[in-house]
Amino acid sequence: MGRRAKNKQGAPPPLREDTNFTKSAKRKAADIDDNQGNVKRSPKKHKSAQAHENGLSNGKEKKKGNQGKENKKGKGKGKGKGKVGNPDDSDDSLGWEDVEDDEDLQAHAASLFNDPADDEDMAALDDEFVGLEDDFDKEIDAPEDSEGSGGDEEAAVDDSSETKTKSKTVRLKDGIKENSVDHADEEGDEDEDENRERFMLPTSEQKEEEKKQGGPDIQEVQLRMQMCAKVLGDFKRYGDKSRSEYVEQLISDIASYYGYNEFLAEKLFHLFPVDEAIEFFEANEVPRPVTIRTNTLRARRRDLAQALINRGVNLEPIGKWTNVGLQVFESPVPIGATPEYLAGHYMLQAASSFLPVIALSPSPNERVLDMASAPGGKTTYISALMQNTGVVFANDSNKARVKSLSANIHRLGCKNVVVCSYDGREFPKVIGGFDRVLLDAPCSGTGVISKDSSVKINKTERDFTLLSHLQKQLILCAIDSVDPSSATGGYVVYSTCSVTVDENEAVVDYALKKRPNVKLVDTGLEFGREGYTNYRGKTFNAKLNLTRRFYPHAHNMDGFFVAKFKVEKKTKQSISMAGKDTIVEATNEEVASGHMNFDSDEDKNIINEAKRKQLKAKGYRVQPRQPTAAAAAPVSRPFHLLQRKADKQTAVKPHAAQIPKVNRQQRLPTQAPSG
């Protein structure tokens, strides 16, 4: 094997569209309470305890793959010690561990797929692979290895054996014949039919039994998932129960297999067609490529690449869509502590995190607001694109995170940045009139599960309600902070590292409704999928197709969403459609309880009220308020306050035609009658 290939870490798939992750036979376990009283399995425990339970050795577990077949051609990188740290971007830092030593790297490299360009090496690797495959077979019934389960190296080997896992046979239970799981498609229809005929959804008694035994057998679950997916893929032909029963079973199995709570598994499952959903869940088990962004304030990409190559770093440009990104395959030195890093020549930054800034496209000498900016991956990129001119207000409400933001700004030599720490909802009161605003909103992180797997079990429905509400408030403030008369800009970019519709399309759609003076424009991003215009019975603004979605399984980058708005001057029409004071602010109690209403009836009243106020302010005569259901409802307010409110409401410019004629005798006495 050539030296380069030997030292080269399994290259992650190139950052291009439509990278196919095929389903792998990965097993998960470890008991985790999913907050709903159910016990789920997580990958860690599975690798030790579950393997033991099933009489499988760690060796076998180690060799289980979790990436697509493509990885054999030099793709894929395990969560191994040969990973590079990301001290810059704590959001993006999880899973970016430092390379510890050469030995680890070599062990790691030996276990991974090597340079596809080198045929000789590939052939040698294939041989090695066959050997591993034999070992795998032997280890199936071997006793559990006492060490090393769940370690980083284990994960590294994980990836290397992907192709092997793909071709493994899985022993099906209860006398069903051995079936090559991943080659099922290649076998004749007859075989498939035979298996499908025998596939039965578990009865409720069987499910009860499974629960009693601490969850279903993992191979059973795996098989069931495949079968459910196939039945759902051609339901007319294979379905013999209702579609929803198969869907329900599949979601439940996905949740236990990949270690999600059922609520989140279902939420994510519905984003995709069945087969693709499984690819998505599978891709969340695989770390994304390690990428860095050249800080053009301090270095040129070519010089930086050369300097790092001289240190033994194996890297390549990410792709044509970025001229500052580099993908790091392997590094003998911690990539977060090289002299170049310390001198601010680059930022460790996930590729997806470049996208909102590319969409924002700031120009020199502009005024830009980065509303939720810590730890500064995007701020420092904005600053660099502005060539240290103009001004970037880098805001974040979290004071602790502002420290790392400041540190990054200093290290990268950004001199045009003002750091501040306000709740984003205080803008534009704090300061407004920006040429561009980036709102990289706080979100659930469902796009970065491969970095933070805690998301799998710690997100509940209430979290999504609260987040979506906060995002809606922030986006209106972001829009209102833009100067619509900006000569060079007038744009807002909204992004999240989440893939849920509540946090993306629903937020953008809300902003379009509330601010008729903004419209969606092309993000300028060369790839990514169109945002939803319809989703599960909800219809969004047709222009939502201009927004972009990015997925781990499709683009080999973190799940991300990007929308770009152009803010235009308010016209009379837009003012009358929605006044500035139509922001629906949740009370603290509402936020705390999670019961916030964004129902359109309520919004309609607020909009009507705003219209009235605006017309009145312009001296127009306005019709008296129509009593609404809300107004008619009893209010538990002290009488004197009600009185005052009523006074206020009727304190309009008197106009003869509006003042009802009141018979003096009908008026209540203001003083007790004397005598």
Ligand X SMILES: C[S@@+](CC[C@H](N)C(=O)[O-])C[C@H]1O[C@@H](n2cnc3c(N)ncnc32)[C@H](O)[C@@H]1O
- Applying CB under 6 A, the residues found at the interface with ligand X are 89, 91, 353, 371-378, 396-398, 401, 423-425, 440, 442
Q: Does 636 count as an annotated binding residue?
A: no
497 as an active site residue: the answer is yes
End-to-end CA distance of the chain: 116
Using the minimum distance from each CB to ligand X, give the nearer residue, 249 or 353.
Answer: 353
Of the candidates 238, 298, 328, the one whose C-alpha atom is nearest the C-alpha of residue 274 is 238
The active-site residue out of 414, 443, 477, 497 is 497
The number of CA neighbours under 13 Å toward the Cβ of 236 is: 0
CA distance 211 to 39: 9
- Taking CB atoms within 8 Å and a gap of at least 24, the contacts of 174-180 are 179/223
Spatial CA neighbour of 386 closest among 404, 360, 408: 360
- Nearest-approach distance from CB 615 to ligand X, in angstroms: 33
Nearer to ligand X (CB atom), residue 93 or residue 163: 93
Whether 404 and 376 have beta carbons less than 8 Å apart is answered as yes
- Residue 31 annotated as binding site: no
Provide the CA 94 distance to its chain's centre, in angstroms. 14
HSE, CB side, 13 Å, CA atoms: give it for residue 560: 25
Please report how close the Cβ of residue 295 comes to ligand X at its closest, in angstroms: 14
Q: Is 547 within 8 Å of 531 (Cβ atoms)?
A: yes
Phi, psi of 660 (to 5 degrees): -70, 145
Does the annotation place 657 within a ligand binding site? no
Minimum CB–partner distance for residue 395 and ligand X (Å): 6
Residue nearer to ligand X on the CB measure, 182 or 440 = 440
Q: Shortest approach of ligand X to residue 508 CB, angstroms?
A: 17
Ligand-binding annotation for 444, yes or no, is: no
Within 337-393, residue ranges assigned H as helices are 339-342, 355-360, 377-385
The type of residue at 486 is: S
- Determine the 3-state secondary structure of 482 from DSSP: strand
Give the contacts of 328 (CB within 8 A, at least 6 positions apart): 84, 289, 290, 291, 292, 308, 313, 314, 315, 335
550 SS3 class? strand
Tell whether residue 660 is among the known ligand binding residues. no
Shortest Å, Cβ 404 to ligand X: 9
Beta bridge partners of 519: 566
User: Any binding-site annotation on 158?
Assistant: no
* 373 in a known ligand binding site: yes
CB of 493 to ligand X, least distance (A): 11
Q: Which residues are annotated as a binding site for S-adenosyl-L-methionine?
A: 372-378, 396, 423, 440
Residues marked active site are found at 497
Residues of each annotated binding site: 372-378, 396, 423, 440
